[in-house]
Copies of this chain bind each other. A is one copy, B any other.
Amino acid sequence: MPDPIVPRKKTTGISGSVKNRPAAAGVDLSEHLRSHGIHPTQQRLRVLKVLVESKAHLSAEEIHGLVRAQTPRIGLATIYRTLHALKEKGLVEEHRFNDEFSRYEAMPANHHDHLICIECGKVVEFDQPLIEQLQLAAAKENHFSIVFHRLEIYGICESCAALHKKNP
């Protein structure tokens, strides 16, 4: 079972079903940052805002592009620095799907896993509490205490499958 290459370009917008982020539901982003020990500069607020409002899992490049619409002179280094800080404080999650670069999302209220279409790159989030329980059992059996986990299912989404039937 070889890893198919996900044929996705950096610029591709990726949609995914996303639950309400806590910060999107009216929480003051500035206070959100401050309460996590991050000084809320304009740049940091805008990076976080882009992530909170986005329905996608964004690359650093994409975040840079979106933030630049409001703050044209912001540098890519600031994006990376901010993402590191946010990640370290647990406000942002980093994913490495089948790309050669990372994608980021604002930390959701609940952990979830990902279904990723290897044709179009669409990412759908899901959660299966039972899977988490079985993971706990597997960890216990091997004398591990779980800190976090990552479950990614790669496959073909409904619309790509339909396309295949039309143009096989």
Residues in chain A within 8 A of chain B (CB atoms) = 1-4, 87-90, 93-94, 96, 107, 111, 113, 115, 117-118, 124, 126, 128, 130-131, 134-135, 137-139, 141-158, 161
Contact A141:B126 (CB < 8 A) given known A1-B111, A152-B149: yes
CA A94 – CA B100 in complex, angstroms? Answer: 12
Contact A134:B134 (CB < 8 A) given known A146-B154, A150-B154, A154-B150: yes
Counted per complex, copies of this chain come to 2
- List, in ascending order, chain B residues with CB within 8 A of A144's CB: 115, 117, 124, 153, 155-158
Sample (21) of A-B pairs whose CB atoms are under 8 Å apart:
A1-B147, A1-B148, A4-B147, A113-B138, A115-B142, A118-B147, A126-B141, A134-B134, A139-B153, A139-B155, A142-B157, A143-B157, A144-B157, A144-B158, A145-B155, A147-B154, A147-B155, A149-B151, A149-B153, A150-B151, A150-B154
A151 touches B151 (CB 8 A): yes
Closest B residue to A149 by beta carbon equals B153
Within 8 Å by CB of A153, from B117, B135, B153, B158, lies B135
CA A33 – CA B41 in complex, angstroms? Answer: 57
CA A70 – CA B8 in complex, angstroms? Answer: 39
4 closest pairs, A vs B, by CB? Answer: A143-B158, A144-B155, A146-B155, A149-B153
Closest B residue to A107 by beta carbon equals B1
A128 touches B138 (CB 8 A): yes
Closest B residue to A157 by beta carbon equals B144
Closest B residue to A111 by beta carbon equals B1
